[in-house]
Amino acid sequence: MELSQSEIGVIGVVALLALCAIGVRFAIAGAVVGTFGLASLIGWEAGIRTMGIVPYSAGANYTLSVLPMFILIGYLAYYAGITQTAFEAARRWFGWLPGGLATATVFAVAGFSAVSGASSAAAAVFAKVAIPEMLRAKYNRQLAAGVCAAGATLDSLIPPSTLLVVYAIIVEESVGKLLVAGFVPGLVSALVYAGIITWRCWRDPTEGPPITGYSWGQRFASIPGTTPIFLVIFIVFFSMYFGWATPTEAGALGAFCVFMFALKNGIKRNEITQCLLDSAKLTVMIFTVIWGVMIFVRFLSFSGLPEDIARWVTTLDVAPFFILMAIYLLYFVLGTVLEGIGMFLLTLPVIFPVIKALGYDPIWFGIVLVKLSGIASLSPPVGLVVFVVNGVRPDIPVRDIFKGIWPFIFADIVTLAVLTAFPELVTFLVDNGD
């Protein structure tokens, strides 16, 4: 019995999931399944030729050039000491609140997110910087570890964001618009986190006692140290918003500014070398995943499976809202066992046509999807950022960190509900920019 193109597509999806389940890396699994799938649909010669062209056509995409710039900004910011100055400034301004050090951590991470594009990096950095300070102040260690893990997820929303760039590449939407759209939801998330912390520590002061003793003069004296953060925000955000620069140009300007501050702060030659090496390693890893899975995506497009699913979903006698909720649930479950980039590359070729067919805004959906990925990255059994925090602080058991993140998962669900009910919070900056 001869299989239809859609049936071959289904077999390919099942094969990819099976390979990933047994531990094969996304890039290899996607490339292997995509190659055999293309060969079965269009023949060996044409399939192999297509498989060879796809990595080049994907890698030569100008949009991808923004990734190494954003990654370099984050590594330079760490070695320039921007992390420590951001935390100290936030400590002086917000420490007087109930749970003030935890709130300071949230806003310091939000500031660091403006010069970084990777949640795992933010989790590692603030686990080193903030947890010791909170433990010295007699904070609950579950709260101390949980706020570092949860705060790190802001990195995926606040520009520059690697995850938003990957989403833009997959669905062929504007990188600049997505990065601009992520700013307000990231700020809302930080405020909701701060509200949860303040309420929790107000009810039980032993969770996180306030820090007092800073004068107004000391608070204002901490502001100059945060200049690199505000400068990068201005360059990256406003240059894209007003169309002064492309995302890649904005990233390059941001990296140059942080590099100048790093030189001013006495960065060593071996640290510069390490910055470049770390940036290159992470960039190559991301590009390799994109190359491999884009072969699989090309196979899916030849099979017609995404379009068939979109047509089927739109004929269901169900309100679009319930289909959207099912998609939310799907991503929440997948995100507990897959990291964000792999999950996007694996699912968006099928899910995105459904979203467009239902009439939802692609920019809004990208922000919501990144928020869902953030929630999932905190959730067991995988909880990537939780294990990053544990790797930096092995003295705090994983179970304690998972206990500490539940209030923040609740806060994220509240934020997700707000973004779903009021999509204008995501799109109004983009619409005004047009």
Same domain, 125 and 254: yes
Same domain, 191 and 261: yes
Same domain, 311 and 348: yes
**Burial status of residue 150 (CB atoms within 10 A of its CB: 0-12, 13-18, 19 or more):** buried
Instruction: Quote the CA–CA distance of 148 and 185 in Å, as a whole number.
Output: 19
Q: For 296-321, how does the pLDDT look when each residue is reduced to its tens digit (9 = 90+)?
A: 878 877 887 767 776 777 777 788 88
Whether 89 maps to a domain, the answer reads yes
Written as six digits, the tokens of 113 are: 């997110």
Whether 275 maps to a domain, the answer reads no
Instruction: Quote the CA–CA distance of 22 and 24 in Å, as a whole number.
Output: 6
Q: Which residues of 335-363 are buried (b: 16+ CB within 10 A; e: fewer)?
A: bbebbbbbbbbbbbbbbbbbbebbebbbb
Same domain, 56 and 111: no
Written as six digits, the tokens of 379 are: 């959730």
Asked if residues 81 and 128 have their Cβ atoms less than 8 Å apart, the reply is: no
Q: How many domains does the chain have?
A: 2
Instruction: Quote the CA–CA distance of 159 and 237 in Å, as a whole number.
Output: 7
Instruction: Quote the CA–CA distance of 215 and 119 in Å, as a whole number.
Output: 33
Residue showing tokens 């649930």? 329
Whether 277 maps to a domain, the answer reads no
> Domain range holding 201?
64-267+304-433
Whether 279 maps to a domain, the answer reads no
CB atoms within 10 A of CB 165: 24
Same domain, 297 and 348: no
Whether 334 maps to a domain, the answer reads yes
Whether 272 maps to a domain, the answer reads no
Same domain, 33 and 165: no
Instruction: Quote the CA–CA distance of 319 and 341 in Å, as a whole number.
Output: 29
Whether 126 maps to a domain, the answer reads yes
| CA nearest neighbour of 147 among 411, 340, 416, 418 | 411
**Residue that is last in its domain, among 252, 275, 303:** 303
Same domain, 387 and 332: yes
Q: Which stretch of DSSP H or E encloses residue 407? A: helix 398-421
Written as six digits, the tokens of 9 are: 């597509």
| CA nearest neighbour of 81 among 268, 221, 245, 252 | 268
Whether 273 maps to a domain, the answer reads no
Q: From the CA atom positions of the chain, what is the Rg in Å? A: 22
Written as tens digits, the pLDDT of the chain (434 aa) is 577 887 888 888 888 878 877 877 777 888 888 888 888 888 888 888 888 887 777 667 666 777 788 778 777 877 777 777 888 888 888 888 888 888 888 888 887 776 666 676 677 778 888 888 888 888 888 888 888 888 888 878 887 777 888 888 888 888 888 888 888 888 889 899 999 999 989 988 888 888 877 888 888 888 887 877 778 777 777 777 777 877 778 878 888 888 888 888 788 888 888 888 888 887 787 777 777 777 887 887 788 776 777 677 777 778 888 888 888 888 877 776 666 777 787 778 778 888 888 888 999 999 999 898 888 778 776 666 787 788 878 888 888 888 888 888 888 888 999 999 888 888 887 766 55
**Residue that is last in its domain, among 254, 275, 303:** 303
